[in-house]
Homo-oligomer: A and B are copies of this chain.
Amino acid sequence: MTSSNHENAAGPLMRLWGKIGGFALKLKKLGKDDPRRIIHSFKMGLALTLVSIFYYFKPLYEGFGLAAMWAILTVVVVFEFTVGSTLGRGLNRMLATLTAAALGVGAHRLATLSGETGEPILIAVFVFIMAGIVTFLRFIPKIKARYDYGMLIFLLTFCLISVSGYRDEEVIEMAFERLSTIVIGSCTSVIVCIFICPVWIGVDLHNQIATNIEKLGNFLEGYGEEYFKVSEEGQPRDKSSILDGYKSVLSSSSKEETMANLARWEPRHGKFRFRHPWKQYLKVGSVTRQCAFKIEALNSYLISEIQSPPEVRNIIQEASTAVSSECGKALKELASALRKMTKSSAAEPHIANSKDAAENLKSVIRSSLSKHDDVLQIIPAGAVASLLCEVVKCTEEIADATHKLASLAHFKNAKPKVTPEQKELPSQGIVLPVSGIDGMHHVITINEPSQSLQENRNLPPAMAPRMEV
């Protein structure tokens, strides 16, 4: 009885304690998964503290007065996790404020010409028209993708300046104060964001594309074994397999597009130059997703209840496993070269092997599988085989897309692995994979030291960021 009473009394407290503990664990995991989040939180605190200096130093405060709060507001709104996002918002905000302040002052001047009664009416008409136009323009997909925030701030500033002008005669001074505090806030954000442990969204996109290819590679490397293990044990595998990594690739499209849009705002950094071919990343992402759809179909044969019997599968085991694992190796080579930002032809032999294996698989099917009487039993295994052949094609497409990316982005040569066939290649040459008429890849060597890359590196930093936007 007593213990039960104790439990009852301690119950709610314990539960609350348990909830707090669970929440703390969740927070800890959040920080552990990506420690940059913790750094970002400190950076936000720093940026806000820096900008609030405006209020503490009298000379600065006397220059701006109450308008100084716009600087604080700007930092809170503009400071984002990645450089691309912060720069995009900062530039959008500054440019939109500049144009809108000019237009707002103009609208105010025009309105005052029409006398005391006409002024509010005219301003109301201006506000109505401008709000309608800007709101409608925000629906244009291209504008929405990159300038949505700018359009919002444009409308905001235009309304504030033109409407406040009705009560406050010093419109120009107000517009100037607003603009300069916003510039200060935006610059504080951008500087803190770039110079203290910057998070480049371009790098994130680059890594994500490489990781996605790698995930498909992991699946394919493990698929053969997994598929025929199932066949031996005679029951489908449990669903929490590590092979499920590819699933996130299926729905990655919108995230990649957002990242590419933000990456365009970033100046050159590390190996990422100005005008890095972000669009090509989207193309690589798109062919990778196509391959992921095939893999989703392959995966459904892993978990399907209708399976070919072991004796049927055993016939195609060797050839299928070869196709799958060679494709997997090729994809992992491509991913690793992409991650290191090198031009590499290390995937070529694997692709060639996978093609040979696919031909072999077809002849095995033609010769041996035909001997079985029950077509229904052959079909699942046959479908897996034909999907594997399509995966070979997808792998080639991914290889083409990444090679194109490597040449567009002027990736450096990988240190060539000196295989017997390649021994005569000079190590300075750039190895370019080229699709021939027969669809096979040849290796062409161009003796061009990567001088242009070095020259680009020495560009003055002012050239790098897209200040024209």
Contact = CB atoms under 8 A, between A and B. Distances in A.
Interface string A54-74: 011000010000100100110
A133 B61 CA distance: 28
Contact of A48 (B45, B136, B159, B164): B159
B132 A42 contact: yes
Nearest to A382: B379
28 contacts: A27-B136, A30-B136, A37-B139, A40-B135, A41-B131, A44-B131, A44-B135, A45-B131, A45-B132, A52-B124, A52-B163, A56-B120, A72-B156, A76-B152, A76-B155, A76-B159, A77-B152, A250-B250, A251-B254, A254-B255, A293-B293, A296-B296, A365-B379, A366-B376, A370-B375, A378-B378, A378-B379, A383-B387
B164 A37 contact: no
Given A365-B375, A370-B375, 17 more contacts: A37-B139, A40-B135, A44-B135, A45-B127, A48-B128, A48-B159, A69-B160, A73-B156, A254-B255, A293-B293, A293-B297, A294-B300, A365-B376, A365-B379, A369-B375, A379-B379, A383-B386
A362 interface: yes
Nearest to A370: B375
Given A128-B48, A131-B45, A374 B379 contact: no
Contacts of A163: 52, 55, 69, 72
A431 interface: no
Given A375-B366, A383-B383, A164 B45 contact: no
Contacts of A129: 45
B48 A131 contact: yes
A195 B390 CA distance: 54
Contacts of A6: none
Given A49-B128, A120-B56, A365-B376, A30 B140 contact: yes
A160 B76 CA distance: 10
A147 to B, nearest CB: 15
Contacts of A293: 250, 293, 296-297
Interface of A: 26-27, 30-31, 37-38, 40-42, 44-49, 52, 55-56, 61, 66, 69, 72-73, 76-77, 120, 123-124, 127-129, 131-133, 135-136, 139-140, 152, 155-156, 159-160, 163-164, 166-168, 250-251, 253-255, 293-294, 296-297, 300, 304, 306, 362, 365-366, 369-370, 373-376, 378-380, 382-383, 385-387, 389-390
B127 A48 contact: yes
Contact of A386 (B49, B120, B380): B380
A316 to B, nearest CB: 11
B40 A72 contact: no
B159 A52 contact: yes
A159 to B, nearest CB: 5
A52 B133 contact: no
A133 B250 CA distance: 34
Contact of A385 (B136, B168, B379): B379
A255 B166 CA distance: 43
